[in-house]
Chains A and B, each alone.
Chain A
Amino acid sequence: MAATIPEFMGYLRPDGKAGARNFTAVIPSVTCANDVALAICRQVQGTVTYLHHQGCCQLPPDLDRVTETLISIGKSPNVANVLVVSLGCEGTDHARLVEEVAATGKHVEIIRIQELGGVSKAIQAGTDFARRLVIEASSCQRTRCPISKAVMAIKCGGSDATSGMASNCVIGYVADKLVDLGATVIFGETTEFIGGEHLLARRGANPQVGEKILQIVDEMEKRAKSLGCDMRKGQPTPGNIAGGLSSIEEKSLGAIMKSGSRPIQGVLDYPQAVTTEKGLWIKDTPGREPEILTGMACSGAQFMMFSTGRGAPQGFPSMPVIKICGNPHTYAHMSEDMDINAGLIITGEKTIEEVGEEAFQKMLRVLSGEMTKNEAIQYFSSIDIHMLGPVI
């Protein structure tokens, strides 16, 4: 059979990347600018904002991490142009934020609340900037893009025993197919490698990658052990335990199913975007949704495939999230939040391949503009940036 190479209709950006969405990103450079950014977004259609809690009174490595994460969000292919909302006295390097996003050829504006004379004046100035930016963005047209420009982020949340036996296997199928088609796939949740890291290390593209995987898992486990307790209830969560997962090892062995079976090219730091090298990558992140969704969005992923058993409805402002539900009862109960029913694998009505193909077709439609269920109901504001050190 002559297989045609799949394509999607995306927004080609000046740096050659292809977006699945075309938002004006209103980025608060610090948590103190959140309400101004939110007010602008409520007024101007076509905008999204990122209500995070960082950017001041943190140690320099964490401030760099905030700056670099926000830069990567601005550079994301789903973002057409950017309005930075700054208070004026924060620790985030907002000048660098503007400069590095603008270097990709995107139009970037900045407003500073203190300089403009307060909140209401900043909302007015920001609204006027945002109106001009969305009008400018709205003239972008979708064009045919090869599937090799797709970057898929993957994640599982609210896992139960069905996750590792159905929904994660479906994502693994899609991951392998995308890698074979020359696209890029990123998975993370380093905590959920504990107990399965030897299997991942064997898949390193070279021995250094294998070593690095073992190292990030060891660091994560040491952080967990440093409080002197059994990590159960933290990981696995009470919900995981109620869903039949007895230990972090069991959760991990199910979780890594979603990475498929292809070689792992390397490990990306939290704020880091993917390089030009395609294939399967790991991003060093915790498992909690607000932080991993942000970390994945700043990888340059246009979308995420998210597996769940108990019913996790999370999303991200500028990255559509396709929900694959492994538990047939949860799917029946929460079908308005779940995009794909992988519970049919558990009931024996469909195979992993059949549901995998269904998910792949859904992915092509979402890349081309079809909304996911979380986008349609705008369930995507609960986000944050993963920090290493204390707030001081």
Chain B
Amino acid sequence: MALNIALKVNDLDNVATVFAEGVSKGQEVEVRDKKGQSWIITVLGDIPYGHKIALTAIPPNQDVIKYGEAIGMAARQISKGEYVHVHNLDSKRGRGDWKENN
């Protein structure tokens, strides 16, 4: 079976991007960083190609970090190995629906 690869862009990141087709619950992915280090994480749910996996547990309202920068915050508790996308990540910008920010 082909290796399932996920790329971590920056040391500070708590998510990596999966570049493999059909990664599903219970499978392992090999996370690689730019320094050539790699390690294995078990996936908790199906993750499509190009989508993100949590490298650590991320508590609610904590920043989700990619490129070493916040790309939003956890909308609820996210576990290590969980699929991270619009269902559990809230954007913090362009939020006309958040009255307190207007």
Contact = CB atoms under 8 A, between A and B. Distances in A.
A369 interface: no
Contacts of B90: 247
B86 A232 contact: yes
Interface string A330-341: 000000000000
A161 B92 contact: no
A69 interface: no
A241 B92 CA distance: 16
A64 B17 CA distance: 45
Q: Which of B64, B67, B95 has the most CB of A within 10 A?
A: B67
Given A194-B93, A224-B96, A225-B96, A250 B66 contact: yes
A117 interface: no
A161 B20 CA distance: 12
8 contacts: A161-B51, A165-B7, A244-B49, A244-B85, A246-B71, A247-B72, A249-B93, A250-B72
Contacts of A327: 50
A246 B9 contact: no
B91 A247 contact: yes
B7 A249 contact: no
Interface of A: 160-162, 164-165, 194-196, 199, 221, 224-232, 235, 241, 243-244, 246-250, 253-254, 309, 327, 329, 346-347
Given A247-B71, A253-B67, A224 B94 contact: yes
Given A244-B85, A246-B72, A231 B49 contact: no
Given A161-B17, A244-B52, A246-B86, A253 B94 contact: no
A254 B93 CA distance: 16
B102 A165 contact: no
Contacts of B94: 194, 221, 224-225, 230-232, 235, 248
Given A227-B96, A230-B94, A231-B96, A253 B52 contact: no
B97 interface: yes
Contacts of A199: 69
Given A165-B9, A249-B70, A244 B50 contact: yes
A196 B71 CA distance: 9
A45 B52 CA distance: 50
A14 to B, nearest CB: 45
8 tightest CB-CB pairs across the interface, nearest first?
A231-B94, A247-B91, A161-B50, A244-B50, A225-B96, A250-B71, A244-B51, A247-B72
Interface of B: 7, 9, 17, 19, 48-52, 64, 66-67, 69-72, 84-86, 89-97, 101-102
A230 B95 contact: yes
B78 to A, nearest CB: 12
B46 to A, nearest CB: 13
B67 A248 contact: no
A246 B84 contact: yes
Q: Which of A160, A194, A243, A249 has the most CB of B within 10 A?
A: A249
Contacts of B7: 165
Nearest to A221: B94
Given A246-B64, A247-B72, 15 more contacts: A195-B71, A221-B93, A224-B94, A224-B96, A225-B102, A230-B91, A231-B93, A231-B94, A232-B91, A244-B17, A246-B71, A246-B72, A246-B84, A248-B91, A249-B93
B69 A195 contact: yes
Contact of B96 (A194, A195, A229, A246): A229
Nearest to A326: B50
A235 B94 CA distance: 9
Nearest to A310: B50
A325 to B, nearest CB: 13
Contacts of A225: 94-96, 101-102
B71 A249 contact: yes
A250 B64 CA distance: 10
Q: Which of A162, A195, A224 has the most CB of B within 10 A?
A: A195
A253 B96 CA distance: 21
Q: Which of A160, A224, A243, A246 has the most CB of B within 10 A?
A: A246
A221 B94 CA distance: 6
Contacts of B70: 195, 249
Contacts of A229: 96-97
B13 to A, nearest CB: 11
